[in-house]
Amino acid sequence: MSAIDSVQNPVYVYERPVRLWHWVNALALVVLAVTGYLIASPLVAPDGEASEHYLMGYVRFVHFAAGYVLAVGFIGRVYWALVGNQYARELFLPAIHRAEWWDGLWHEIKWYLFLVPEPRKHAGHNPLANMAMFLFYVFGALFMIVTGFALYGEGLGQGSWTSRWFGWVIPLFGQSQDVHTWHHVGMWYLVVFTLIHVYVVIREQRLSRQSMTSTMIDGWRSFRDDRP
């Protein structure tokens, strides 16, 4: 039997740097969403002198720090896609050049539409998940990083590294408020994507033919049957 056909042959899929990135990235996204919401809808200022509280200043600081974590983590994830195993590259390089990848994508779509009795086995991401992560997460995260640092650079002022690298973004969108608006829309986009992602993971954990959540903890993909 091949490695993905047997209950007795788990496959080591997600290396430690990938698993670490996944959980740190998830925490950063939660922090960014909560603090981003508070920045857009500020809390009522407490009583007393504002200099004694600095509440929204702390919120913005945490937001900026989480933004750095997201950006540095993304760069690190790109690096590991170059030096890691074949599964580390799936996030950025869907195998769209392979006919069997498209066949698997169509099968997964039919599985979610209840048109086939069971899904297929996949050591890494199934093609539908692969496409969704590439189109919705990779490009969504890039959009949020670029627009976020553009707004951050505006605050730091002309001459800052963020202004030099991302200053072109604001004129591209028209004005600062337009970037704020689209950055806020992007936040809700990633929130919705994350909720769908969690739902799909739970669904696949219960209904698919391989492990899901435990694989992102210990790295090993195990299978529930010996059929191909």
**pLDDT tens per residue across span 26-76:** 999 999 999 999 998 887 766 666 556 788 888 999 999 999 999 999 999
pLDDT of 225 reads: 82
- Residue 168: phi and psi, rounded to 5, are -70, -15
- Do residues 224 and 4 touch, judged by C-beta distance below 8 A? no
In the chain (228 residues long), the average pLDDT of successive 10-residue segments reads: 59 95 96 94 71 80 96 97 94 92 95 92 91 94 96 87 91 93 94 93 89 91 85
Tokens 């490695």 label which residue? Answer: 3
Instruction: Give the per-residue pLDDT at 43.
Output: 75
Pull the structure tokens for residue 227. Answer: 């059929």
Partners of 44 in the β-ladder: none
**8-state DSSP, 95:** -
Decide: 75 and 106 in contact? Cβ < 8 Å.
no
Secondary structure E strands in 153-194? none
* Nearest C-alpha neighbor of 104 from the set 129, 134, 133: 129
Residue 226 pLDDT: 82
- Contact criterion met (CB below 8 Å) for 7 and 223: yes
Cβ atoms 144, 187 nearer than 8 A: yes
Q: What's the pLDDT at 157?
A: 83
Q: Which residue is listed with tokens 């992602």?
A: 197
Instruction: Report the alpha-carbon angle 106-107-110, nearest 5.
Output: 90
The one-letter amino acid at 201: V
